[in-house]
């Protein structure tokens, strides 16, 4: 090879390299636009976030979000509405942002999944084909754990554990209650959506009673001997609601509330004691939303998943996230669902739009409000392993913190709420 020809060869190499680079870049671009159908069932913290991130990541993908309600009322912060710290409107969100982004939002109820044909059927009659299906249905109730408690009974004794109309029923009942009345709360057995939720709710109801219904009582008949953030809540209750909240552990009631009579407004404990309530908030035992069972993804009440990406261990091309999944140490919370959704979005984009798949990272933080400007938090990051254990990062607010720090923690929760709902609904 002569000097001259070697020079040409080098230049040619450079040109070929550049051409290869350009063609790869063009190829990647076309691929990144994506081709394929993604169906997501459930428009909450998990499903909304996946829809947003997948559509944003690959606008060419056909993304359909199936949600039974035209508007979404968040469970998180619904206790603050009961306490009078948030309006109902402020916790209710539209799907307009997702629609504007190009997500096909279908207000319907998914009734069937054919995992062989890879289709979803809707109550309205439509059939949707998918390449990847994401199930994020949240919870359903296990009626039957408390005798006499049913969907009908819940109209008089609201659970308010799916936010919306039920939350408003409970609020109206509290407002209509006479001063000096009795509120009875029956928290659910483990595992359930939002572990600190019942105790934040107790705090918020007590705050409302203290200001508006003097002389009233709130009796919590718990089927569990201990609960999330217990020391923090009990410290707060002693300081603010000493004469209002009475938490009764299961050994004093024979295991909590076992029977209700919604017409008579009475609850009966495992020990056989019957108590009359002015307002009864009965939160039943829970399981994954119905569609995961129909799809064959569940093993008992909940769905086993692969920790690396929350794909179902039972059915190919289906992911299960949020409350419905078995995430071991990771609690059932909106924050968890949002965190899992990000890993799923990355996995879907890798499969259908040629994006790079990164190792999973999971995180949760749960804030609770005890009284005005008195917020506490608990959180951790989780390792994507068999037990989803916390990695050297677990934290919880301390008892005896200053009022200034508690106020800051509460204010953090306000910022988190805005950021997270922006992400869920592609707002802002």
Partner 1 sequence: MPGSGFIRVMLMLKNLAFVIATSMAALTSLAAFANEEREYGEYLAGECTSCHRDGANETIPPIVGYEVWAFVSLMDTYRNGERDNQAMVSVAKSLDEEQIKALAIYFASVEPKGN
Contact residues toward partner 1 (CB under 8 A) are 3-4, 6-7, 10-11, 13-14, 17-18, 21, 53, 335, 338-339, 342, 346, 355-356, 358, 361, 363, 365, 377, 379-381, 391-397, 408, 411-412, 414-416, 418-420, 422-423, 428
- The CB-of-271 to partner 1 minimum distance in angstroms stands at 41
Residues ≥6 apart with Cβ < 8 Å to 153: 260, 262, 282
Calculate ∠ Cα 400-374-71, nearest 5°: 145
Structure tokens at 204: 């918020």
**Which candidate, 423, 343, 427, 327, places its Cα nearest to that of 380?**
327
User: What DSSP line would sit under 344-359, residue for residue?
Assistant: HHHHHHHHHH-PPP--
Structure tokens at 401: 């913190």
**Which candidate, 362, 428, 422, places its Cα nearest to that of 49?**
422
Over the range 335-352, which residues count as b (16 or more CB within 10 Å of their CB) and which as e? bbbbbbbbbbbbbbbebb
Task: Let me know: does 29 contact 55? Beta carbons within 8 Å.
Answer: no
Structure tokens at 242: 């000493």
- The CB-of-89 to partner 1 minimum distance in angstroms stands at 20
- The CB-of-331 to partner 1 minimum distance in angstroms stands at 15
Query: Which is closer to partner 1, CB of 143 or CB of 358?
Result: 358
Query: Which is closer to partner 1, CB of 13 or CB of 179?
Result: 13
Distance CA 346, CA 359 (A): 9
Structure tokens at 371: 């009284």
Query: Which is closer to partner 1, CB of 399 or CB of 408?
Result: 408
Distance CA 73, CA 337 (A): 16
Query: Which is closer to partner 1, CB of 2 or CB of 251?
Result: 2
Reply yes or no: is the peptide bond before residue 105 cis, omega within 30 of 0.
no
- The CB-of-51 to partner 1 minimum distance in angstroms stands at 15
Task: Let me know: does 36 contact 28? Beta carbons within 8 Å.
Answer: no
- The CB-of-69 to partner 1 minimum distance in angstroms stands at 23
Distance CA 292, CA 228 (A): 27
Distance CA 234, CA 240 (A): 10
Query: Which is closer to partner 1, CB of 235 or CB of 390?
Result: 390
Query: Which is closer to partner 1, CB of 222 or CB of 423?
Result: 423
- The CB-of-223 to partner 1 minimum distance in angstroms stands at 30
- The CB-of-322 to partner 1 minimum distance in angstroms stands at 14
Query: Which is closer to partner 1, CB of 216 or CB of 338?
Result: 338
Distance CA 6, CA 384 (A): 52
Query: Which is closer to partner 1, CB of 277 or CB of 348?
Result: 348
- The CB-of-240 to partner 1 minimum distance in angstroms stands at 23
- The CB-of-94 to partner 1 minimum distance in angstroms stands at 18
Query: Which is closer to partner 1, CB of 13 or CB of 252?
Result: 13
């Amino acid at each position: 090879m002569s000097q001259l020809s070697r020079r040409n060869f080098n230049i040619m190499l450079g040109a070929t390299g550049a051409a290869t680079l350009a063609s790869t870049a063009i190829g990647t671009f076309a691929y990144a636009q994506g081709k394929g159908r993604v169906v997501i069932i459930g428009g909450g913290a998990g499903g909304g976030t996946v829809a947003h991130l997948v559509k944003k990541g690959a606008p060419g993908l056909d993304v359909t979000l199936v949600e039974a309600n035209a508007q979404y009322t968040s469970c998180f912060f619904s206790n603050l509405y009961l306490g009078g710290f948030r309006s109902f409107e402020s916790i209710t969100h539209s799907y307009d942002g997702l629609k504007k982004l190009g997500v096909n939002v279908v207000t319907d109820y998914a009734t069937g999944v054919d995992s062989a044909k890879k289709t979803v059927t809707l109550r309205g009659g439509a059939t949707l084909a998918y390449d990847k299906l994401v199930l994020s249905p949240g919870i359903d109730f296990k009626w039957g754990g408390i005798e006499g408690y049913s969907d009908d009974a819940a109209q008089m004794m609201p659970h308010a554990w799916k936010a919306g109309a039920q939350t408003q029923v409970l609020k109206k009942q509290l407002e209509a209650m006479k001063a000096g009345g009795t509120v009875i709360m029956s928290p659910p057995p483990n595992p359930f959506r939002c572990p600190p939720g019942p105790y934040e709710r107790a705090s918020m109801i007590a705050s409302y009673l203290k200001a508006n219904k003097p002389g009233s009582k709130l009796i919590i008949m718990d089927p569990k001997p201990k609960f999330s953030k217990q020391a923090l809540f009990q410290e707060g209750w002693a300081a603010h609601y000493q004469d209002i909240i009475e938490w009764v552990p299961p050994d004093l009631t024979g295991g909590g509330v076992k029977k209700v009579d919604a017409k008579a407004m009475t609850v009966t404990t495992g020990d056989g004691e019957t108590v009359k309530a002015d307002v009864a908030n009965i939160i039943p035992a829970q399981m994954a939303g119905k569609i995961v069972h129909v799809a064959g993804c569940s093993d008992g009440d909940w769905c086993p998943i692969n920790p690396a990406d929350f794909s179902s261990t039972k059915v190919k091309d289906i992911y299960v996230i949020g409350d419905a999944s078995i995430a071991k140490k990771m609690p059932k919370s909106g924050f968890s669902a949002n965190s899992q959704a990000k890993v799923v979005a990355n996995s879907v984009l890798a499969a259908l739009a040629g994006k790079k798949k990164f190792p999973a990272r999971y995180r949760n933080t749960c804030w609770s409000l005890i009284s005005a400007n008195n917020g506490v938090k608990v959180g951790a990051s989780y390792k994507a392993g068999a037990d989803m254990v916390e990695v050297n990062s677990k934290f919880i607010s301390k008892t005896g913190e200053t009022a200034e720090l508690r106020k800051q923690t509460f204010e953090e929760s306000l910022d988190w709420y805005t950021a997270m709902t922006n992400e869920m609904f592609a707002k802002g």
